[in-house]
Structure 1
């Protein structure tokens, strides 16, 4: 594995490169950490040059200038700069949760740089019939963040989405998991501070994406959840059927071998 830092306007991005073959950019979302994708990246490194990175303001990618809100397009610009630095032609992209919104924006605005995108459970809540509920949830979480801090805000979102934030690392964990969970605990702050409002109101560009090489996917274990409903809404917006992948919202971590095979089948 090779690691590096890429300077972009307002931040320095930590990235990791594994394997050989066509480039596969992996983007996770929310307050997660790209180490969550390590098992998946290792399995795919025999077929692809797998590029993972810490998004701006998260984990090992510090901000280098005073910052306001981070819209989806800003993160898509970061992803584009990473692909340009990799020197590749069009790249494959696997993106999940908030990362899937970034992937959709990247494909919509820079179609020549993406060979195929698999957008896994994009939380495009604005497309849902009860979009107002999810706007209120974001507003309430941000108000709690201002009054009581990250813990209260993350609990509020977990109550609504069913996706609870992980607890602090316990004793006896492998070092890489301990380090990952420590970074994730700190990532809740930039997630709330810079992204939640803009990401929760993002709507993909249907006109730009309708004929684009995108697969919209959900986890088999997430049927009926808000993430499944949002995935179906995105697929409907783009005029295609959603694809089922193994596992739930983090199926790529729970069963990386099964997920890797299913993802590869979507990419080829």
Structure 2
């Protein structure tokens, strides 16, 4: 594995590369940093060059001005600069949850940088038309819960909002532990305070998606409840870009709970669209 630091506008990004083959950028969900999908990277390293990174403000990616709000435009430009730094042509991208929203903005504004984007359950209220404001308010209420009671109160509510059932875990065996250590708690705090605000205030990029040069493949988890807004957003995206929804193993966090099955699904999905 190789690591690097990339100065960008207002921040310095930590990134990691491993494997060989076509470049696959993984944009993580939630509080996840470059190591969040280590088991998935292990399973794919024989087929792809995996590029992961800490979003600005998480773990080793530092902010020049921590008091400045972080926007979706910042995250999109970070991904653009990262690909410009390491890629020698259009890359594949897997975007999960928050990372899927970054991928959609990148496809809408810089579609030539991506060959294929798999957008798994994007947390994008702007895809939901009349229900958008209700889900923006849902994100705001989660922020209020965190402000009042911290992670012990906020995390169960976030899990419910995204259709995650922590009381009935369904995982593959022998996964790399992801302990709730101090760094992860700091990442969660940044995610809920700064990045939920970025999601709530994101105007979206609907107009640029149907005509994007990127092949956009909406995706959902097999066990994600159909009633939650991230599942519904994926289906609205499918209607917008005129492609069917691809189903992946597990639920909203299937990339970490079922990494080997996800690796198989990624290989077959990307191979099918290049056949």
Q: Which TM bucket (shorter chain)?
A: 0.7 to 0.9
Q: 2:28–2:96: 8 Å Cα contact kept in structure 1? A: yes
C-alpha distance after superposition, 1:155-195 (max 9, x if no partner): 443443344799xxxxxx99x73567543221122112221
CA contact (8 A) 1:20 1:49 kept: yes
Distance of 1:47 and 1:239 partners within structure 2? 28
2:224 counterpart residue number: 222
- Tell me, in whole angstroms, the C-alpha distance in 1 between the residues paired with 2:88 and 2:22: 8
- In structure 1, the residue corresponding to 2:63 is in which secondary structure? coil
The alpha-carbon distance between structure 1 residues 242 and 188, as it changes in their structure 2 partners (threshold 3 A), is: same
3-state DSSP of counterpart to 2:62: coil
Q: Following the alignment from structure 2 to structure 1, what is the Cα–Cα distance between the partners of residues 70 and 165?
A: 23
Match of 1:63 in 2: 63
**CA distance in 2: counterparts of 1:8 and 1:238, whole angstroms:** 31
Count residues in correspondence.
261
RMSD over aligned Cα atoms: 2.5
For structure 1, which segment, 199-208 or 111-120, has the greater mean C-alpha deviation from structure 2 after superposition?
199-208
Q: Where in structure 1 are there 5+ consecutive unaligned residues? A: 167-172
CA apart distance, 1:217: 0.5
Aligned to 2:270: 267
Aligned to 2:136: 135
Range with greater deviation from structure 2 (27-36 or 55-64):
27-36
Worse-superposed segment, 54-63 or 239-248: 239-248
Aligned to 1:177, the other structure's residue is in SS state: coil
Distance 1:10 1:180 in 2: 28
C-alpha contact (below 8 Å) 1:215/1:266 kept by paired residues? no
Q: Which has the higher helix share?
A: 1
| 2-structure distance, mates of 1:251, 1:181 | 21
Unaligned runs of 5+ in 2: 168-173
Name the CA distance, whole Å, in 1 between partners of 2:81 and 2:180.
25
Q: Which residue of 2 aligns with 1:50?
A: 50
2:56 is aligned with 1:84: no
- Contact residue 55 and residue 75 of structure 1 kept, 8 A: yes
2:75 corresponds to 1:72 = no
Query: What TM-score results when the alignment is normalised by the length of structure 1?
Result: 0.87
